[in-house]
Chain A
Amino acid sequence: AQTVTQSQPEMSVQEAETVTLSCTYDTSESDYYLFWYKQPPSRQMILVIRQEAYKQQNATENRFSVNFQKAAKSFSLKISDSQLGDAAMYFCAYRSNQGGSEKLVFGKGMKLTVNP
């Protein structure tokens, strides 16, 4: 079974600075997707960024980018120019692209605080 580990339960960053959230995962599969989801307080979860395992190029979405290290099974999220609205719980998630399962496997999450 696949597992996702987020070892840092909380982090804080100053507004306008850069922060990196770490995630590791365990799988024996070669074809899969990785995601970072954001869950603001009392609001619904939204997708921040997605990475396909077969792509060597790291995904980027505006201020958000990932460092995908397939051999190390590491998938970190970098947030540049942090904004107050980035404060939220961040979840790393895995989805297989083999065997038909479509479930997302989530880590425990990390609470990000942005200080003004």
Chain B
Amino acid sequence: DTGVSQDPRHKITKRGQNVTFRCDPISEHNRLYWYRQTLGQGPEFLTYFQNEAQLEKSRLLSDRFSAERPKGSFSTLEIQRTEQGDSAMYLCASSLNGHSYEQYFGPGTRLTVT
């Protein structure tokens, strides 16, 4: 399977704990995006990378959130001191530079903060 993959698919954590999610984009894609989707809403943009450079961050990305893409391949999204309001589906997408701007989405990581 050469699609976007995300790990884990589900994560349950207690409030105050740190969590980290991983996204592996389609191999030749140099752009990688993170979105958050809460119940009954459309995805909301968090941040995106071109290769290893983080080019844009949403105001939704508070100081407790950090994303990295150290070698321009996979990316991690870390949430520190989780809060119940962080419960959501975290979606990753990737795209090929200059090619139709289509973003290919992964299956998401569902986070539940108890």
A contacts, CB < 8 Å to B: 4, 33, 37, 43-47, 50, 91, 93, 95, 97, 100-109
Contact = CB atoms under 8 A, between A and B. Distances in A.
Contact of A50 (B42, B91, B100, B108): B100
Nearest to B3: A44
A63 B48 CA distance: 32
Contacts of B105: 37, 44-46
Contact of B42 (A33, A95, A100, A107): A107
27 contacts: A4-B42, A37-B105, A43-B107, A44-B106, A44-B108, A45-B43, A45-B91, A45-B105, A50-B100, A50-B101, A91-B43, A93-B42, A97-B101, A100-B55, A101-B56, A102-B55, A102-B95, A103-B33, A103-B58, A104-B33, A104-B35, A104-B45, A105-B45, A106-B43, A108-B40, A108-B41, A108-B42
Interface of B: 3-4, 31, 33, 35, 40-45, 48, 55-56, 58, 91, 95, 100-108
Contacts, number: 56
Given A43-B107, A45-B91, A101-B56, A106 B44 contact: yes
A103 B3 CA distance: 20
A44 B89 CA distance: 11
Q: Which of B41, B103, B108 has the most CB of A within 10 A?
A: B103
B102 A109 contact: no
Contact of A102 (B3, B4, B43, B56): B56
